[in-house]
Structure 1
Amino acid sequence: MKADGVLLVNLGSPDSTDVPDVRRYLREFLSDDRVLDAPKLIQQAVLNLTILPFRPKKTAEAYSTIWTDEGSPLIISTEEIAQKLRERLDIPVEIGMRYGNPSSEQGVMKLLAKGVRRIFLIPLYPHYAMSSYETAVVKVQEVVAKVAPDVDLVVQPPFFNDPRYVDALVKHTQPFLEEDYDLLLFSYHGIPERHLRKSDPSHAYCLADPRCCEKTHPAHATCYRAQVFATSRLFAERAGIPREKWHLTFQSRLGRDPWLKPYTDMELEAFPSRGFKRIVVMCPAFISDCLETLEEIAEEGKECFIEAGGLDFRYAPCLNDSDAFIDVLEGFVGDFREGVLESA
């Protein structure tokens, strides 16, 4: 029987808040054809002429507001998740980042050095998107094919509607919902609309109808928008939140092309005038708190909301290394070891 091991993959962070480190990180991130998906010449021209000369300094300043003495919150959270999972299991657990350090390849090599011949890959992305889940999986597949083609790779599917994940979200967020509030906001990382269409196997269903995500369709297996709606709906049902008390938005857009709407920042500005002056905000697309949650939402988002007349802004942190989420991961590993999942 082949020895098993677990690889947890997350997005990644710069090595520090120094501008050169941030520039290096952004170059790797935005050179990914599944993130900035223009033809390579155009991609590199945009990256080198309009993004890298200006954005690293601004991004470095944003990172500096959330950086800790130990380093990046996302890296720390991922390491803490791995350590807690190790304490529950009798097989190796390593981490790898899609961009930056420690890399996915480093994570794979550590497992191989421990004699692992069957790797269970868990992308720390609940929802499918070409710029997150897909690119993380493809990267590890490439690494394994290159360095250890005889090693089996089994991949955890997106778990956006897994009852264990939804229950963990509800349990983790419940304390922030105990005091009175006007609205619960689910803010998900945005993606360009074209990514949705590219991920649609039919290239004809997604976004063709404003209510496409409310219907049942095979395209939903790779439809980010349908999956985040499913997570939100299931959470609300499980937590007993009526439809009029929750709303869904998309954050972190980049460039001028249309991204999924409605936009989080614009909605936060408008909420107080609509009578939503006490809100709870959560970001279920992220497992670990990071720049997009701590700086963009908990800091900038709160400031925007309060300046617009809001009275109470409560940010519910991501699952991070909560016991509820470690329970979920332990369940996934159990499925893997029982043969419920197939090799990639």
Structure 2
Amino acid sequence: MGKKGILIVNLGTPDSPSTADVRKYLDEFLMDGRVIDINPILRTILVKGIIVPFRGPKSAKIYKKLWTPEGSPLLIYGKRVHQLIKEKLGDDYHVELAMRYQSPSIPDALERLKQAKVDSIKVVPLFPQYASASTGSVHDRVMEIVRTWQAIPDISFINSFYDHPGMIKVFAAHGQKYLNEGWDHILFSFHGLPQRQMRKVDVSGVHCLQVKDCCKTITENNKFCYTAQCNRTAQLIAEELQLTEDKYTICYQSRLGNDPWVQPYTSEVLKDLAAKGVKKLLVFCPAFVSDCLETTIEVSEEYAEEFEALGGERVQLVESLNDDPAWIDALEDIILNK
């Protein structure tokens, strides 16, 4: 019997914080039809003519703040998790790490699995909640490549793990050590997505944004809905920490463009809380398994500055799963049993 192949995939990172590399990354990322899901011609004009040329230099400055002597935190933690899960799974498995955009690439990782003559491949996107623009894009890219192979091994895909007990416990444990510091409120800030992408996932056509509190609980109609899964993740972490509903708010960050995105927006929640006299915020970001630009910079610096300008005093980020041994245990269970 040959080995079982495991492909773990995260979103990606520029190869360096230089403007050229950041532009290259943004171009590949934003030209993905599942990320900016509009007419291809309009997407090309928007991305190549406006966003990449003008946003590239600004984003490069932000990536320089994020960068460490070892490189991008997303890739650093990715490599550590890759090594740890290889050791955990043992010799019966061949594990590869890839990024959806840039390096290490999905085509190269799949080629290594092919050359290893694995009997099967399980694709594990490292996104707890399903979204077409993240998990769906990884699945799409893998199928695009593998369909050209003459011999295609058994292939399976993990769709999501938003309610995995092991993952929930790690997030809760990371937050628990801060809870005795007298927070006025707790935020669960997830990455945002356009509302149109939520509607596209609703195959019933009668649920998304049409039913009151359509995302508050998981149902047959919204079981693949990103926001419904985000809500469930936050609820489970809150339950683990014994938080009542009045103690926390679920919100969405990283909005791009003028179209309506899933709400409430994190920036608007900060304004509302500051207006109510809230001074100290503890923030979880459970859409990310690794700390990255969206957590380390966007929450810890940009939102912290916004909140202080509004009269707040402190924003504390709860670190992500990163390379916590308990997360490696949970990931092993996800790989073996999902």
- TM-score between both structures, scaled by the size of structure 2: 0.95
RMSD of Structure 2 on Structure 1 (CA): 1.5
Query: Residues 299 and 146 of structure 1: is their aligned pair in 2 closer, same or farther, counting only changes over 3 Å?
Result: same
Mark the CA change 1:297 to 1:101 in structure 2 (over 3 Å): closer, same or farther: same
> Which of 138, 144, 168 is the equivalent residue of 2:146?
144
Amino acid corresponding to residue 141 of structure 2 in structure 1? K
Identity in percent = 39
Structure 1 unpaired stretches of 5+: 336-340
CA contact (8 A) 2:186 2:248 kept: yes
Q: Gaps (5+ residues) in structure 2?
A: none
Paired residue secondary structure (1:265): helix
Q: 1:179 aligns with which of 154, 157, 181?
A: 181
Within 5 Å, give how 1:96-111 maps onto structure 2.
96-111=98-113
Structure 2: how far apart are the matches of 1:54 and 1:134?
Answer: 28
- Deviation at 1:275? 2.5
More displaced 10-residue stretch of structure 1: 107-116 or 129-138:
107-116
Residue 16 (str. 1) matches residue 16 (str. 2): yes
Q: Which residue of 2 aligns with 1:214?
A: 216
Correspondence for 1:273:
275
Moved more, 151-160 or 249-258: 151-160
Following superposition, the deviation at residue 147 of structure 1 comes to: 3.5
Instruction: Render the CA deviation track for 1:256-281: whole Å, top value 9, x for unaligned.
Output: 10001111122223322213211100
- Asked if structure 2 preserves the Cα contact closer than 8 Å seen for 1:197 and 1:204, the reply is no
Indicate yes or no: 2:91 matched with 1:88.
no
- Alignment partners' CA distance in 2, 1:150 and 1:49: 39
The 2-side partners of 1:173 and 1:145 are apart by 43
List, as ranges, runs of 4+ consecutive aligned residues in structure 1 with deviation greater than 4 Å.
none
CA distance in 2, matches of 1:99, 1:114: 23
Aligned to 1:240: 242
Alignment correspondent of 1:292:
294
Q: Distance in 2 between matches of 1:171 and 1:327?
A: 14
Equivalent-residue separation in structure 2 for 1:181 and 1:215 (angstroms): 27
Residues 5 and 172 of structure 1: CA distance in aligned 2, closer, same or farther (over 3 Å) = farther
TM-score by length of 1: 0.94
Is 1:331 aligned to 2:333, yes or no?
A: yes
Equivalence for 2:163? 161
Assess, with a 3 A threshold, how the Cα gap between structure 1 residues 218 and 49 changes in structure 2: closer, same or farther.
same
Deviates more, 1:299-308 or 1:172-181: 172-181
Aligned to 1:338: none
1:145 Cα shift? 2.1
SS of corresponding position for 2:8? strand
Q: Which moved more, 1:1-10 or 1:246-255?
A: 1-10
Structure 1 residues 94, 141: closer, same or farther in 2, change over 3 A?
A: same
Contact 1:25 1:99 (C-alpha < 8 Å) held by counterparts: yes
Once the 2 structures are TM-superposed, how far is the Cα of residue 81 of structure 1 from its aligned partner? 0.8
Amino acid at match of 1:282: F
Number of equivalenced pairs: 336
Write the distance in 1 (CA, Å) between the matches of 2:271 and 2:127: 28
In 2, Cα distance between equivalents of 1:216 and 1:324: 26
Q: Secondary structure at the match of 1:53?
A: helix
Please tell me whether the aligned partners of residues 144 and 151 of structure 1 are also in contact (alpha carbons under 8 angstroms): no
Offset at residue 86 of structure 1 (A): 1.4
Aligned to 1:133: 135
Tell me the CA shift for residue 174 of structure 1: 1.5
Q: Distance in 2 between matches of 1:145 and 1:117?
A: 16
1:126 maps to a residue whose letter is P
Q: Distance in 2 between matches of 1:34 and 1:148?
A: 27
What per-residue deviation string (whole Å, max 9, x for no partner) do you get for residues 237-292 of structure 1? 12101111110110001111000111112222332221321110010001111111
Cα deviation, residue 28, structure 1: 0.7
1: CA distance between counterparts of 2:232 and 2:176?
Answer: 19
- Contact in 2 for aligned 1:279/1:312 (Cα 8 Å): yes
Q: Determine the structure 2 residue equivalent to 1:77.
A: 77
Secondary structure in structure 2 of the residue aligned to 1:16: coil
**Alpha-carbon deviation of 1:114?**
2.5
- Counterparts in 2 of 1:104 and 1:178: CA distance versus 1, 3 Å: farther
Amino acid at match of 1:181: W
* Contact 1:8 1:122 (8 Å CA) reproduced: yes
Q: What letter corresponds to residue 238 of structure 1 in structure 2?
A: E
